[in-house]
Structure 1
């Protein structure tokens, strides 16, 4: 089929130009689904775990999360990582990350919140911040 005779399904869907746009959308969805299946089918199976490789303990499991920080907190986090690196033994420096610092700080704050509830430092700061605005 020449370039002039090709049918642009996405253009039709976006413009709502054709009566059978729903049929074409269905065809497009099937194509995408099939492509996804074929990609999963061609992905190599996981190899058996290395017997010498340590399995992560339940406390080591992690999930990626994205949160917005103020510029000030973002810069303070960088500063804190640098200061902690100055305080720890050189062989531990590679284990000091911003993620580790944030995880530890949140753990401490959430523990305080769990124990003290509305009298916790977290609640006091949140309420103080909200009342400012």
Structure 2
């Protein structure tokens, strides 16, 4: 087949005024392309587990500012002091305020994941509306 006799199939596909019957097989190709692009019915997504929040080796920490009520701040400080008294000598360093906040957030996420809308934190938030 010479160059003059060859059809520009891609040109036919992308032209707005295309005549699908003009090129043999073009209609089938077009329907196949559109069948593959057709939106599929949404499958129920597998619920992504939030937990466990595992610390990654070499992961950095981020400095952040959060405003706490004074009694909560005092409670955090008191919890740190009490834990340092209760923990053995080698583990006292793990009772930092940052670690306590990390433990608390992990515990909170675990409860929300396990109990969902029935978790105590959600109930407390809804009570304060």
Q: Which runs of 5+ in 2 are unaligned?
A: 1-54
Instruction: State TM-score, norm by structure 2.
Output: 0.51
Root-mean-square deviation (Å): 1.8
Runs of 4+ aligned structure 1 residues displaced above 6 Å come to: none
Which structure: larger Rg? 2
Matched, 1:80 2:79: yes
Which residue does 2:99 correspond to in 1? 100
CA 1:128–1:102: 2 relative to 1, 3 Å: same
Structure 1 residue 122: deviation in Å?
1.2
Structure 1 residue 66: deviation in Å?
1.8
Alpha-carbon deviations, 1:38-88, whole Å to 9, x = none?
xxxxxxxxxxxxxxxxxxx61662222221111110000001001111110
**Equivalences, count:** 74
Structure 1 residue 118: deviation in Å?
1.2
- 2 CA distance for matches of 1:88 and 1:71? 26
Alpha-carbon deviations, 1:15-57, whole Å to 9, x = none?
xxxxxxxxxxxxxxxxxxxxxxxxxxxxxxxxxxxxxxxxxx6
The structure whose residues are more often helix, as a share, is 1
The one of the two structures with greater contact order (alpha-carbon pairs below 8 A, sep at least 6) is 2
